[in-house]
Amino acid sequence: MAAYTLAAREKTAGDTIICIPSRMGQVKIGTGHCTVIAGSCAVESREQYLPLAEKLKAMGVHILRGGAFKPRSSPYSFQGLGEEGLRILAETRELTGMPVVTEIMDPRDLDKVYNCSDLLQIGSRNMQNFSLLKEVGQIDKPVILKRGLAATIEEWLLAGEYILAAGNQQVILCERGIRTFESMTRNTVDIGAVALVKQISHLPVIVDPSHATGLRSLVIPVARAAIAAGADGLMVEVHLQPDQALSDGPQSLSPEMMESLLKDIRDPRGRVS
C-alpha cells in the first residue's frame, strides 16, 4: 500500500494549527491548544438547539456541533432534519457568533453544507468513502475526519491523505473508539493511537469520548484521559434533556456535567482558556 506522505510528521516544519475565524475571535485547533466542540447529536428543532447553543457559549465551549444528516444503522431510525437542520445551524451561528460543525454524508450536499457550517465532519462510517473525501479535499474549510470503526491507524492517515492530496490542508483527525469484543461499552477508545498519531503526523487529533464509550458516566474520565494523552481537543455530545434526545441520549451529557468536564480540563496549566 502506498504510504501517506502529506500527513507524515516529516513533511512540514511544525505542527499544523488550524484557525477558524468567528465573530468571537479566532478558534485554533492543534498542538498547544485544547479546543472543545460540543452540542447535541442531532439538531432536533429550533427550540431544542438554540437554548443549548446559548448555554454552551456561556460555558466557554469553542465550537458547536449538531447533525442535520444523521447516519443511522436502521432506515427506520430518525434520520435527522436534513436541510431544515442546516437552516437551524446557520441561524444559531448567526445568533451566537460561534463556529459550527456538521456532518456531510453525500457529495451532492456539499454546497448546502458548506454554506451553513464552518467545519465539515466526515463520520466514521464514511472514513473510506473516497468520493466524499476527494470532494471535501477541494474546499477551503477544515474537515474533521473520524476514524472508522475498524480502521487501522495507517488507513486513517491514508484517508486524511486523500483530502490533503486533493488540496485541502485543513484536516483534523478524530478518534472516536474502535470496535472490539467488549460489549459493556459502545466502543473502545484507542488512547494509544492518539499519542502515536501526534508523534507520526503533524495533523491535529481530537477525541470524541461520547461515541467512544456510549455511556454518560464514562465521558468525563475518558475526556480527561484524552487530554492527558496529548489530544488537541474534544468533541462531546450534550443535550439539555439527555433522556429525551432523539439519538445518542445515553451518552449525552447534561449541561451540568459538561460544565464539570470543562472545569476538569481547565487544569493548572490552563490549556482551556
Which residues are at the interface with a second copy (CB under 8 A)? Answer: 1-4, 71-77, 105-108, 125-126, 128-131, 148-150, 152-155, 158-159, 161-162, 165-166, 177-185, 188-196, 198-199, 212-213, 215, 217-218, 221-222, 224-230, 267-268
Least gap, CB of 240 to a second copy (angstroms): 24
3-class DSSP state of 54: helix
Helix (H) or strand (E) holding 103: strand 100-103
Least gap, CB of 42 to a second copy (angstroms): 14
Least gap, CB of 178 to a second copy (angstroms): 6
Q: How far apart are CA 128 and CA 156, in angstroms?
A: 8
Considering Cα of 107, then 111, then 116, then 120, what sign does the dihedral take? positive
Q: Of the two residues 94 and 267, which places its CB atom closer to a second copy in the complex?
A: 267
Q: Of the two residues 5 and 241, which places its CB atom closer to a second copy in the complex?
A: 5
**Burial class (CB within 10 angstroms; exposed 0-12, middle 13-18, buried 19+) of 209:** buried
Q: Of the two residues 32 and 268, which places its CB atom closer to a second copy in the complex?
A: 268
Q: Of the two residues 110 and 240, which places its CB atom closer to a second copy in the complex?
A: 110
Residue from 43, 176, 51, 48 nearest 117 by CA: 43
Straight-line distance from the first to the last Cα atom of the chain, in angstroms, rounded to the nearest whole number: 42
Least gap, CB of 71 to a second copy (angstroms): 6
Q: Of the two residues 92 and 124, which places its CB atom closer to a second copy in the complex?
A: 124
Q: What values do phi and psi take at 65, rounded to 5? A: -115, 155
Least gap, CB of 138 to a second copy (angstroms): 13
